[in-house]
Amino acid sequence: MTSQATENAVNAGGCYCGAVRYVVSQPPLVKGQCHCQPCQRMSGGAPQYFILVPPNGFAWTAGKPAHFTHPDLKNAVTRYFCKTCGTQLVTTRQDTSGYIVKIGTLDNPGGFVPRVAICHADALGFHTVPEGVQVFDGLPGV
Which one, of 21, 26, 29, lies nearest residue 51 by Cα?
29
Give dist(CA 57, CA 42) in Å, integer. Answer: 25
Q: Which of 6, 26, 43, 84 binds Zn ion (CB under 5 A)?
A: 84
Number of residues binding to Zn ion, judged by CB under 5 A: 9
Q: Is the dihedral of CA 48, 127, 137, 33 positive or negative?
A: negative
Convert residues 37-76 into a mask of x (bound to Zn ion by CB under 5 A) and - (unbound).
--x-------------------------------------
121 binds Zn ion (CB under 5 A): no
85 binds Zn ion (CB under 5 A): yes
**Pure H helices in the chain:** 3-8, 37-43
Chain residues in the site for Zn ion (CB under 5 A): 15, 17, 19, 34, 36, 39, 82, 84-85
